[in-house]
Structure 1
C-alpha cells in the first residue's frame, strides 16, 4: 500500500481514461490524466526547490482557482514542503478587511511560512492585508512560478510520518490552530473511508465536488480520491454559490456517483430548485451523497430527498458523517445504502444529559437528531464524562476518539496539543451519545447555553429561528449572557431594517414554541454582518463578544 500522498500519485494508472477534470466558472474544462497530473506536479516541485526552499518548510497557499490550487499543493508535496491552505478573499470592506488581515497574518506567522504562493489577481489583496511581522520572506505568483522550464534537480524522499500539510481549523471558537496532518494520517483516513470496509469504491465511480479546497472537507476529499484512484470533477466554488443548481447538473453531465457537501448546501439546493430545473436531471447514478462539516438537520435532508426524487435521487444515497480537522477529516459514517436514521428524544431530558426516546403526541418538547453512523475501521470512539469515564448508551458526554487518522497535534502550540490529545485520545470538545450502532451529535460543549439548570444546544434554537422566512439563510446565532446575576438568552439574526420590529416578535414567539424560553434580547443586524469563519460557519464567541462590547450594529 502507498504510504504517502506522493507515492499514491506516482502509482496511479497511466493512460487517458482516468484523471482530474477542472471546470471553470465559465464552463471551460481542463482534463489531466493522472500521468499529466504527476508530470505537472513534479515540474511545480522543481521550481519551488529552485527558489531555495528546503524539505519540511511551510508554504502558504492563497489560491482561488481549483486547478492552480491542486497543482500547487501537489507541487509543494513533491518538493517535500508543507502546504498551508488559506482562504482567498476578493473584494473587502473595512470590516471584512480587518478580520481577513487578522486571520491571514496569524496563520502565516504561526505556521512560520517562508513563502506565500498566490495569483496575480489576489497578490495585491494579500500584500495589503499582511502584517509586517509575519516573518514571510517572499510572495510568489503562480504565473511567475510557471514562467520558463523547470530546472533539473532531485526531489526529496518522503516518509509516512512527515508532515503532509497544516490544516488550520475554522476558528469558530478561537483563532485558527494549525492541525499537523501527516502522510500516514491522510492515507489512513482515505483508505478507511473509501476502501472495501468503507463505501467500497467501484471502477465506474466518479467524484463531483464544488467544495472550497482551503477547507478540510473539500481538500481531503480530493486528496483521498487521488490516493484511492477515484476520478474527480472539480467545479469552481463561486459557480455553486451563484447557482446551486449547477451541482446537480454536473452530477448528471459527468455521471457522478459520489459527492459531499455540508448540510446548508442540501437545504440551499432544494430551496433554490424550481420544477423546470429538474428537467434533464438524472441522479440515478449518485450512490453516495455525503453530509458533514456542520450540524445535520433531518428536515433539510428530507426536503432535499423530496425535491430531487423525481430526478432519480434515492434517499439511501445520503451518508451523514461526523469528523473534524484534528481527525484528518471524518471519524464516523453512516452505513452506505441504508435509510437515514434519526432519534427523536425529549428536549428537557437531553438538556440534563439523557437521550430518552420520545413517545408520540404527548405534548412534551422533542428534538430530532441525525445518526452519524459508526466509527471508521481500525479506529475507536467513546463517550466520556468530565473525569474521562466511559458512559453507557444514551448518556450525553464528550466524544473522544483514537486511531491512525488522528493527527499529531497543533503546530507550535504544545499546550493546546496537550489539552486536546491525551494518552492517544483526541478530546473533540463535541457532546454526543451512542444508541445502537449510531453516534448522535448534540453540539459543542463550550457553546452550551445553561438557563434555569437546563442545557440548551444553540443550533436547535438557530435552526428553529432560521425557518422564519424573513431570516437570512445561515444568519442566526444564539448564546447566553449574564444579566443581573442570571443567564439570559440572546438571539442575533440577519434581516432587513424594515422588518426588524416584526422579526423580533416572530423570533421571540418561535423560541418560546421550540424551547419554552423567553428571549432576553433579539438583535436584528444587516445581512452578512455576523462574524463567520472562512467556511461560512457562524462564530458564536466572537458575536457574543461584540454584543457584550456594544459593537453589534443593530437595526432599530
Structure 2
C-alpha cells in the first residue's frame, strides 16, 4: 500500500514508464507547441531535484516554488516531496501591474514559512537576482533554477522516510477575509483527498480505460489548491494523463479551454463559476460548429459561489456542441480540508432549490453529497450546537483530509481546527463558510465574515452581486463587490462596486439606476451607493476571489478607479 504520492510516482514509472503523465500547451493552442513528460522522465527529474535538496541537508525545511506555468513546477514540487522537504507553492512576480502585489505576498510567505531555498524557472530565478533592493529577505537564501539540475543526480536519490503524518507542503490560503495562512497538509491528507476526488468524480479504472487515461484538461493555477490537488495530483494518484496550459492563455482566449477539451477528450475539466461565464461570452456560432464536447463527463464548478443562471445558460449554449446538462458538477472544498469535501453524482443534473424570488436563475445550487469518510455538520456558530436540516449555519467538517492546522499559528489552529460538537466524537474544522443540508445535499450560502446585516435581516453579498451583474451586460462577471457601511442613524447600508468596460462610461447613470432597481426588486434593499470602476480595480485573492474588505477600504479611502472620474493630478 502506498504511503505517499512519492511511492505512487515510483510505481507508475516502473509499470508504465512511457505513458504521458502531463502535456503542456505552450501557447495555449492545441495546434501550437506541446511539451510532454512521461512517468519515467517525471520520476527521474523529481529524484534529481530531491537528491540536490538532500545533498544540502534540507530535509524538513521549507522550499518556496516560484515557477511560470509549465511542467517544471510539477518536477520541482514532486522533487520536494521526494526529498522530505516541505514545498511552499508561491506566485512568481510577473509584469509591472502584478509585481508589487506578488512581491508583497512573496515576502509574507517567505517570512512566515522561514524559507531556506527557492526553486523556480530560469527566468524567475534570474529576475530575483535583480530584486535585492525590493527583497532583502533573499540574503542567505539559495535560489536555483531546477532545469539546471543534471539528470545524473537522480542516481544518488535516497527514498525519504515518510509517514502519513509527515508534512508534504504548506498551502497558503488566498486570504479573501484575512491575511494568508499556511495550511499544513500531510502526506496522509493528500492520499485521502485524492481518494475523495477519485470517488466523487467517478475516476474508476473502468472509466480511465474508456477514456484512454485522459483524465483532465486544466488551465487552473498550480499554486492554488484547486489546480494542484485536483488536476495535477489526482493524475499522479491514478497514473493517468492530463493536459495543462497557462491561466493567462485561458483569460486571453477562453475558447482555448473548450478547444483543448474537444481535442484531448478528457473525462473531467472545470474551474470557478467565472470561467463558465467567460466561456459563454465567446460562444460564437463558429466555435460551436467546430466543437465536440460530448465526451466531457464532469464539468466541475467550485471555489466561488455556483450560479444557477450560469449553469442553465452554459448547458443551453453548448448543447449544440454535444455538452450535456448532466455533466455540470458543482462541488465544495477548501484548503483546510486539503481540497474536496462534497460533489454531485456523476451523470446526474445539479440539484437546485427555488428561493423566495421564484426565479430559477436565483435558485440555490447544491454542491453535492459528502464523500465517504467526511462528517459534515451545520452548526450555530455562537452556541456551537448542531442545527437541523434546512437551517443555515456554519459548515463544520471532520475527516482524514482535514489538515494538521495553520503553520506556526497555535491560536488560529485551536480556533479553527479543534472545535468540539455535542453528540459527535473527535475534533471538527470550522470552515467559516455558511450553508445548510437538505436530504444529504450541501448548499453553501456564503462566508460568515462577509455576512451583511441590514435592518435586522441577513444578506449574502454574493446574492446582491449576482443581481447587480444580471442588471446590464456591460458589467463584468465575477467582478462586483457588495459590502455594507455605517449609515449613521440609518444603520448598516449596502454599497455595490462593479467593474465595467470603459466604453460604457456614457451609460453610467443608466447602469447605476438598473443596479439599484435590481437590488430593490430582488432583495427589498435601498442601496446607499453604486460605484462603477475600471477593469482590474476590485481587489482579488491569488485564486480570483473577491476581497470585499479590501474593496470596502478602498471605497472609504476614495482610492477606487471610478469610470468617468477625472484623472488624478
Provide the TM-score with structure 1 as the length reference. 0.92
> Are the aligned partners of 1:225 and 1:231 in contact in 2 as well (CA < 8 Å)?
yes
Change (3 A) 1:194 1:509: same
Residue 300 (structure 1) shift: 0.5
Query: Partner residue of 2:423?
Result: none
> Size of the alignment, in residue pairs?
538
Q: 1:208-247 alignment to 2 at 5 Å?
A: 208-221=217-230, 222-247=232-257
Q: CA deviation at 1:419?
A: 0.8
Superposed displacement of residue 279, structure 1: 2.3
Task: Give yes or no for contact 1:199–1:336 (8 Å, CA) kept in 2.
Answer: no
CA contact 2:531–2:562 (8 Å) conserved in 1: yes
Q: Would you say the 8 A contact 2:218–2:245 is kept in 1?
A: yes
Please give the per-residue CA displacement for 1:198-227, whole angstroms capped at 9, x wherever unaligned: 553522342211111011010001112211
Q: After superposition, where does 1:199-348 map in structure 2 within 5 Å?
A: 199-201=203-205, 202=207, 203-205=209-211, 206=214, 207-221=216-230, 222-346=232-356
Match of 1:503 in 2: 511
How far apart, in 2, do the equivalents of 1:110 and 1:196 lie? 34
Whether the 8 Å contact between 1:327 and 1:406 is mirrored in structure 2 is yes
Query: Aligned residue for 1:6?
Result: 6
| Aligned residue number for residue 352 of structure 1 | none
| CA distance in 1 between partners of 2:143 and 2:464 (Å) | 44
Structure 1 residues 534, 370: closer, same or farther in 2, change over 3 A?
same
1:255 CA drift (Å): 2.0
- How much has 1:416 moved relative to structure 2? 0.8
CA distance in 1, matches of 2:138, 2:539: 24
Shift of 1:47: 2.2
What's the counterpart of residue 410 of structure 1?
A: 406
Deviation at 1:18, TM superposition (A): 4.8
Is the contact between residue 112 and residue 135 of structure 1 (CA under 8 Å) also seen in structure 2? no
**Contact preservation (8 Å) 1:109, 1:134:** no
Q: Which residue is equivalent to 1:459?
A: 462
How far apart in 2 are the matches of 1:163 and 1:521? 47
Supply the distance in 1 between the matched residues of 2:400 and 2:62 (Cα, whole angstroms). 23
User: Where do residues 44-443 of structure 1 align in structure 2 (5 Å cutoff)?
Assistant: 44-50=49-55, 52-93=56-97, 96-123=98-125, 125-126=127-128, 128=131, 131-133=135-137, 137-145=141-149, 152-195=156-199, 199-201=203-205, 202=207, 203-205=209-211, 206=214, 207-221=216-230, 222-346=232-356, 367-385=362-380, 386-422=382-418, 423=420, 424-443=427-446
8 Å CA contact 1:113–1:136 kept in 2: the answer is no
Take 1:77 and 1:519, find their aligned partners in 2: how far apart are those partners?
51
The alpha carbon displacement at 1:106 in A equals 0.4
Relative to 1, partners in 2 of residues 1:398 and 1:43: Cα closer, same or farther, differing over 3 Å? Answer: same
Alpha carbons of structure 1 residues 407 and 136: separation in structure 2 relative to 1, 3 Å: farther
Gapped runs of 5+ residues in structure 1? 348-359
Secondary structure at the residue paired with 2:378?
A: strand
Give CA-to-partner distance per residue, 1:30-52, whole Å, 9 cap, x none.
222212211121112112333x1
- Mark the runs of 5 or more structure 2 residues left unpaired by the alignment: 421-426
> Structure 1 residues 427, 234: CA separation in 2 closer, same or farther (over 3 Å shift)?
same
Rate the CA distance shift 1:454–1:367 in 2: closer, same or farther, 3 A. farther
CA distance in 1, matches of 2:497, 2:299: 32
Runs of 4+ in structure 1 off by over 6 angstroms are none
Sort the Cα spacing of 1:119 and 1:33 in 2 relative to 1 into closer, same or farther, 3 A: closer
Deviations 1:372-426 (CA, angstroms, capped at 9, x unpaired): 1111101100101122211111111000011001101011111111111124201
Task: Mark the CA change 1:17 to 1:98 in structure 2 (over 3 Å): closer, same or farther.
Answer: closer
Which region of structure 1 is more displaced relative to structure 2, 289-298 or 130-139?
130-139
What's the C-alpha RMSD, in Å, of the aligned pairs? 2.2
Cα contact 1:112–1:136 (8 A) shared by 2: no
The alpha carbon displacement at 1:82 in A equals 1.0
Deviation of 1:182 (Å): 0.5
Q: Which moved more, 1:59-68 or 1:543-552?
A: 543-552
- Residues 1:537 and 2:545 aligned together: yes
Q: CA deviation at 1:123?
A: 3.5
CA distance in 2, matches of 1:134, 1:512: 52
Q: What's the CA shift for 1:73?
A: 0.7
Instruction: Tell me the distance in 2 between the aligned counterparts of 1:181 and 1:14.
Output: 28
Q: Distance in 2 between matches of 1:66 and 1:511?
A: 43
SS at match of 1:473: strand
